Amino acid sequence: MSRHGGSGTEEVRRNAHADWDRWPVEDYLEENYRRLYACDAAVIRHHSAYCRPLPAGSVAEALELGCGPNLYPLMILAAASGRIDAVEPGAAGYAYLRRQLHHGPEASWQPFYDLCRRLNPALPASLSTALERVRPLHGDVSQVRQYRYGLGSMTFVAESVTEDGAEFAALCRAFLGCIRPGGGVLAAFMENMPSYRIGEGPLWPAFPVDAPAVREVFAPHTDRLVVRRVPKDPALPDYGHTGMLLLSGTRRSDADVPQLVIGSR
Ligand SMILES: C[S@@+](CC[C@H](N)C(=O)[O-])C[C@H]1O[C@@H](n2cnc3c(N)ncnc32)[C@H](O)[C@@H]1O
């Protein structure tokens, strides 16, 4: 099957075909998070506007799915959340996360936190204190308990981990399945990104999505769904994407979100 379901010869690379343990953390950080790009500031502004009205500690358990080495979604969730589960299947990303939590965050994260705190003054004075409520969990979405979280966030995951459109949709539904009915939903996607390389490394699988494709997957299971587009940031490395998509909503109470088994490597 071809990558979009046709009969071409190009093989579709699914989530289980990539070795997430070998995610190139240092190169990824260097390319994306050693400085605060305007596109990430846009994600922070969008997600912070959603989280700021939530009373401090009002969400007992929040989820960041496929967290990798990115600390800024955790910062955004910190004021509203009693605990944040940072779920990551890749060994390298998980190890980085643990180091940041146990030995203190690298200084390069401070500008991200300064912005988060300007946008939500309910955040603690220090980033280290904000991160005390984060619990790193080594696993993938299929290992997360369904209907558990009062607020869930997924940042550049479902579209960046498979070339298969059906699997992209299944990953999004599995993410939604982790969130309690009535719970908050936040997500960010690369827009129209094909499979990509980090540095000179191997090709990682991706499925190009636009706003209608994202809406189509989330709309049946989400109330107050809003998908906004952020134009491409020319300063960011060119991954072949055309911008970013930012999603907010509420997990629909009557939705029947099926449990997903992603498959084994
Ligand atoms: C493009 S990276 C994004 C990392 C991070 N969330 C960020 O904002 O930079 C995709 C992440 O999804 C993780 N991932 C891959 N397959 C997954 C799955 N089935 N469930 C949860 N996370 C997955 C990868 O290990 C990787 O950390």
What CATH number does the domain containing 103 carry?
Answer: 3.40.50.150
Which residues fall within 8 angstroms of residue 131, CB to CB, at 6 or more apart?
71, 74, 75, 78, 100, 101, 105
Q: Is residue 6 part of a domain?
A: no
- Total domain count for the chain? 1
Q: Evaluate: CB of 68 within 6 angstroms of ligand 1.
A: yes
Residue pointed to by tokens 């498959």: 263
Q: Which of 11, 28, 26 is nearest to 155 (CA)?
A: 28
Q: Evaluate: CB of 152 within 6 angstroms of ligand 1.
A: no
The pLDDT of residue 256 is 53
Q: Is residue 261 part of a domain?
A: no
Burial-class residue 125 by CB neighbours within 10 Å (0-12, 13-18, 19+). exposed
Intervals of the chain under pLDDT 50: 1-7, 255, 257, 259-265
The pLDDT of residue 253 is 81
How far apart are alpha carbons 38 and 43 in whole angstroms?
Answer: 9
Q: What is the DSSP string of 122-167?
A: TS-SSHHHHHTTEEEEE--GGGSPTT-EEEEEEES-GGGS-S-HHH
Q: Is residue 177 part of a domain?
A: yes
Q: Is residue 63 part of a domain?
A: yes
The pLDDT of residue 6 is 43
Interval between CA 66 and ligand 1 midpoint (Å): 4
Single-letter code of the amino acid located at 224: R
Q: Is residue 258 part of a domain?
A: no
Q: Evaluate: CB of 20 within 6 angstroms of ligand 1.
A: yes
The residue nearest atom 19 of ligand 1, judged by CA position, is 140
How far apart are alpha carbons 155 and 210 in whole angstroms?
Answer: 15
Q: Evaluate: CB of 96 within 6 angstroms of ligand 1.
A: no
The pLDDT of residue 246 is 99
Single-letter code of the amino acid located at 200: E
Q: Which of 32, 174, 11 is nearest to 89 (CA)?
A: 174
Q: Is residue 107 part of a domain?
A: yes
Q: Is residue 259 part of a domain?
A: no
Residue 185, token pair as written in the block: 């939903």
The pLDDT of residue 9 is 55
Q: Could you tell me the residue range of the domain that residue 48 belongs to?
A: 15-251
Interval between CA 60 and ligand 1 midpoint (Å): 23
The pLDDT of residue 199 is 93
Q: How many residues does the chain have?
A: 265
Q: Is residue 178 part of a domain?
A: yes
Single-letter code of the amino acid located at 37: Y
Atom of ligand 1 nearest to the CA of 171: 19
